[in-house]
A = this chain, B = another copy of it.
């Protein structure tokens, strides 16, 4: 077999100095003579020595971040994670990832505990707020828990959170549909036990009411975010709300199914039916026709979360213990062909 991995002692012996000197070189201290330092570095390189994070972690603050998320198959989640990984690497932080097996999973105590066992310096919680799982999370937080930054939930429910103004985005896009002259605007929502889904619905209904329109029960259908569910929901709307001439869909993936279904029924978009989505995934520019949507900066969201945790480590911050630190990002309306009946399609 191969020899066990070299330790700091092996290096020390090979250099003819004490382990302390090696340690100093590793940590870039000044009190080592240039000659010794060079010699040590050479030996380290030659032996392929790497310090043990475990041993080191016993004496120092860890530089590991925990991330809890759910639904990696959704583009918004995976893009957020990309933002997190890149920013964490910028700051030299390691990252331990946990994924909830399903959105309904409420018992995350073991996940949080496992992260605490790893001595993480902070936790980014990017799983959606569904039903009462927020309560479950709160109950799962053990004493001595590192700071947790919550993404994409109800900003009111957590002390440290970053979210996107779903209400505002939905209001903007609904208003745009009204301005384009559409009369009967339906909504396909996300699962209504999701906070984000409820906010988007609220933006839609408020925009209609502010424009003096009535909001009937038959103009709303609930989806599950999945493309397939968009198909079902739209089919029901066609039956139950035949006067519909526009629909605001709670995410782009379901909007894709609406476009597909409308095409199969020979409905012309945007002439006979206006369609708008939410999320602003890059593919939406290539839907047929290109999709009007509300763009969220998922990547920026992830990066911001990392920076927030990093800030909490600064000594001056930890003392001031900001009671509530809530950031709300504003989404951006992107107008494309699927809602512009006045002009030629691009």
Query: A333 contacts the other chain (Cβ, under 8 Å)?
Result: no
Q: Give A109 Cβ to nearest chain B Cβ, in Å.
A: 11
Minimal beta-carbon separation of A20 from chain B (angstroms): 19
Evaluate contact between B227 and A283: CB separation under 8 angstroms: yes
Give the residue of B89, B256, B345, B346 whose beta carbon is less than 8 angstroms from that of A283.
B256
Closest to A144 in B: B5
Interface residues of A, dominant DSSP = helix
Q: Tell me whether B99 and A97 are in contact (CB under 8 A).
A: no
Q: Judge whether A27 is part of the interface by a CB distance below 8 angstroms.
A: no
Number of copies: 2
Determine if A101 and B86 form an interchain contact, defined as CB atoms under 8 angstroms apart.
yes
Q: How far is the CB of A97 from chain B (nearest CB, A)?
A: 5
Decide yes or no whether A21 CB sits under 8 A from chain B.
no
| Stretch among A111-119, A125-133, A159-167, A306-314 lining the B interface | A111-119
Chain A residues with CB under 8 Å of chain B are 2, 5-6, 48, 50-55, 57-58, 62, 72-73, 75, 77-79, 81-82, 85-86, 89, 94-99, 101, 113-114, 116-119, 142-144, 226-228, 230-231, 253, 256-257, 259-260, 263-264, 282-283, 285-288, 290, 345-346
